[in-house]
Amino acid sequence: MPASSDLTLLDASLEREIFRSYIQRTDKVVVILTPTLKIRTANNYGRSILGLEENFKSGIDFIATYVPSSLAPEVVADYETLLNQAGTTPVKNEFQLQLQNAVSNDYSWQHFAVRDNSGEVSAILSVGEDVSQERQTEAVLKRRDATLEAFSRAAHHFLLAVPEYWEENVLEVLELVGKARGSDRVYLCKNTPLENGDTGLYLRYEWKATGERFNFLPDGQIKTYPAAGLTRWAEKLSAQEALWEEIAALPSGEKQWNIAPQAKSLVVVPVFVGNDWWGYFGFEDWEEVYPYALPELEALKAVAAAFGAAIKRKRIEEELSSEKLGVEKKIEERTQELKLAQQEIKEGLLRIRQEKARLTASIHSLSLGFLLTELNGQVVLYNHAVNDILGESPEGWSLEILTGRLGDNLDLKKTLALCLKNRREMVVEDVTYQDKFLRFLFTPIKMIEDDGRVIGAVILIEDATQAKMLQKSRDEFFAVASHELRTPLTAIKGNSLMILKLFSQSITDPQVTEMLQDILDSSERLIAIVNENLDVSRLEMDKINPVMEPFDLLQTIHQVMEELKGSAASKNLAWEFTPPSDNSTMVLADTGRTKQILVNLLGNALKYTQSGGIKVLIDHQPGKVLVKVSDSGEGIPTEDQTHLFEKFKMAGDRIYQRSDSESTGMGLYISRLLAQAMGGSVYLESSAAGQGSTFVLALNQAA
């Protein structure tokens, strides 16, 4: 022991008292362990945290009792390091205490070895500091950063949004923010004024973490806030306040509308356009209740504000570009606002310039041939793939050189001129070049801020040889397979029929007759299906050439209606045709194929109508004669309408379920192909639940 230290002036017991006092007062957990890691004692704070009685019996195994088993090996290793090293360096680590019936916080630990005179470790001092608060703050700041990062990208999206891509951009933003925030569902509800002066609302945009995106229109889904059980929300949101809600704690009325059943908590943030309350953003969490920290909430509010500003800008732009606003005064009012908006766009354009460098690199890595032309047809940029597809060109590429290469197979200049003039995409398929099939896509380049002025075009050249070969061999395989199926089917049908007709005296059991009849019916059905498939593949291969001739549609309609009259009568359905007063029903089409389409449309109408009736009427559009077939059936649900004309419908689809087993469900697909082969079209004009459907066949009027 050093003899002349200041410390020696202190009484040893007083010294211990000072330490004891400090240890008792600190807000750290202090535990003293034996070298075998049993608890010898702890300070008061430590005792309360660890749940130890005032006079607890020492000897509790610290590791087994308080260290989570997953971390125990590491903590034990740290203690061993401490025991085995010489000197006084503490060992640091971090672990949660495993507590009974209490929330376990994060503790940052320092462990000190206390050695006796001989240098042996006589005790271990473990001091733990609760760092949960800091860790949480760190996490919150990280999350806010992520949200803000998403927000800046979202703002970028809004900045560049042109009205025609507006909806995609909004959905893009929902996804960006949703992913950054880790939400399971993000949506925008929009307010809409009702006739009686109330505020209505409906779900406008929705994104789910599962990847689904929805873009809803208001039809039939508008509710008032009270009807949605959201009166309290309306008060807060209209006062520019955001709300955080734990779903389990919501008054029952507010669980009624638009909250996902699996949601555990949510935040709603109001959107304001100027001083007008537009609606609100919703952010749902499904896994567990997510406690938002203030900085995160602020970030979401910033997203909502940016969205409001973007809507405002969009409105101004739309107003300015709409013709009805010719009033100069109004323009003056708006000019200032627009200037600000334009400033934003300029900043966006700066970013675009940076993007351009990246874009150029991407263009060169394309396997598609890419050519960029000016309005006058001068080629300003092309990529290496053009050489790969058309062969090297030492003097580079111009329209003249391209035309020279392609010869008569493609009138490049004319197509490009059409594309620029009509301001729309043009596709030219099956351009033969040497032994290749090429596909050309012409796209006009429109300026976003200049009224969509066209400044040039992009020509893409795709080597479609392989795809075409594959498609062709697939179609041919299908045709041959269908054909090959017919031969055995013919034998099944013919033999079962002959047994029934010629050998019925050898059948003694009537059940056998019944079974044979089933075999016969089934083979006939299969043959019908194969024939339909064959029809489709021939149509798809353009092997069916309609015989185009002028004829009177009136007669064909009468004919088909006469043929199907019996089925209508047997279902007690009205069966009406209103011929037009003038004789403007001459069309240029294939009579037989037109009849086939009408049989399909009227047959479907009959099939799906149980009461009421079917009406046929003639209408006109310039150069077209329209046959409209309306039924009073149950209508086609909106979600199924897009699949109506598809070749194969999804199983489980309602359309599929309601189509009876005798049809292959390809009728509409075939009808559309046939109509298109004749230069006409077949489409669904209208359909609403409970109001029936109207299908239209449009054919070219005979000159």
Q: Which parts of this chain interact with another protein (CB under 8 A)?
A: 483, 486-491, 493-495, 497-498, 501-502, 527, 530-531, 534, 538, 543
CB of 566 to another protein, least distance (A): 23
**Residue 135 or residue 538: which is nearer to another protein going by CB?**
538
**Residue 304 or residue 479: which is nearer to another protein going by CB?**
479
CB of 634 to another protein, least distance (A): 35
Other C-beta atoms within 10 Å of 331: how many?
Answer: 13
**Residue 351 or residue 483: which is nearer to another protein going by CB?**
483
Instruction: For residues 573 and 578, give the distance between their C-alpha atoms in angstroms, rounded to a whole number.
Output: 16
Backbone angles phi, psi at 602, to 5 degrees: -70, -35
CB of 506 to another protein, least distance (A): 12
CB of 656 to another protein, least distance (A): 26
DSSP secondary structure string for all residues of 623-684: TEEEEEEEE-S----HHHHTTTT-SSPPTT-HHHHHS-TTS-S-HHHHHHHHHHHTT-EEEE
Structure tokens, 454: 């066209």
Amino acid (one-letter) located at 434: Q
DSSP secondary structure string for all residues of 382-431: E-HHHHHHH---TT---HHHHHHHHGGG--HHHHHHHHHHHTS-EEEEEE
Among residues 465, 468, 444, 466, the alpha carbon closest in space to that of 456 is found at 444
CB of 479 to another protein, least distance (A): 11
Backbone angles phi, psi at 661, to 5 degrees: -70, -10
**Residue 269 or residue 520: which is nearer to another protein going by CB?**
520
**Residue 121 or residue 544: which is nearer to another protein going by CB?**
544
**Residue 16 or residue 543: which is nearer to another protein going by CB?**
543
CB of 531 to another protein, least distance (A): 7
Instruction: For residues 152 and 306, give the distance between their C-alpha atoms in angstroms, rounded to a whole number.
Output: 9
CB of 503 to another protein, least distance (A): 8
Instruction: For residues 664 and 666, give the distance between their C-alpha atoms in angstroms, rounded to a whole number.
Output: 5
CB of 539 to another protein, least distance (A): 12
**Residue 303 or residue 516: which is nearer to another protein going by CB?**
516
Structure tokens, 182: 């880790």
Give CA 266 to chain center in angstroms.
Answer: 21
**Residue 266 or residue 516: which is nearer to another protein going by CB?**
516
CB of 374 to another protein, least distance (A): 49
Among residues 580, 525, 545, the alpha carbon closest in space to that of 701 is found at 580
665-690 CB burial, b ≥16 within 10 A, e <16: bbbbbbbbbbbebbebebeeeebeee
Instruction: For residues 166 and 279, give the distance between their C-alpha atoms in angstroms, rounded to a whole number.
Output: 17
Structure tokens, 695: 């299908």
CB of 502 to another protein, least distance (A): 5
Among residues 123, 71, 78, 76, the alpha carbon closest in space to that of 97 is found at 71
| Rg of the Cα atoms in the chain | 39
**Residue 288 or residue 542: which is nearer to another protein going by CB?**
542
Would you call 125 exposed, middle or buried from its count of C-beta atoms within 10 A (0-12, 13-18, 19+)?
middle
**Residue 213 or residue 538: which is nearer to another protein going by CB?**
538
Other C-beta atoms within 10 Å of 520: how many?
Answer: 18
Among residues 260, 242, 245, 259, the alpha carbon closest in space to that of 303 is found at 242
CB of 538 to another protein, least distance (A): 7
Instruction: For residues 432 and 438, give the distance between their C-alpha atoms in angstroms, rounded to a whole number.
Output: 6
**Residue 428 or residue 500: which is nearer to another protein going by CB?**
500
CB of 456 to another protein, least distance (A): 47
16: helix, strand or coil? helix
**Residue 191 or residue 664: which is nearer to another protein going by CB?**
664
CB 605 within 8 A of CB 577: no
CB of 659 to another protein, least distance (A): 23
**Residue 198 or residue 518: which is nearer to another protein going by CB?**
518
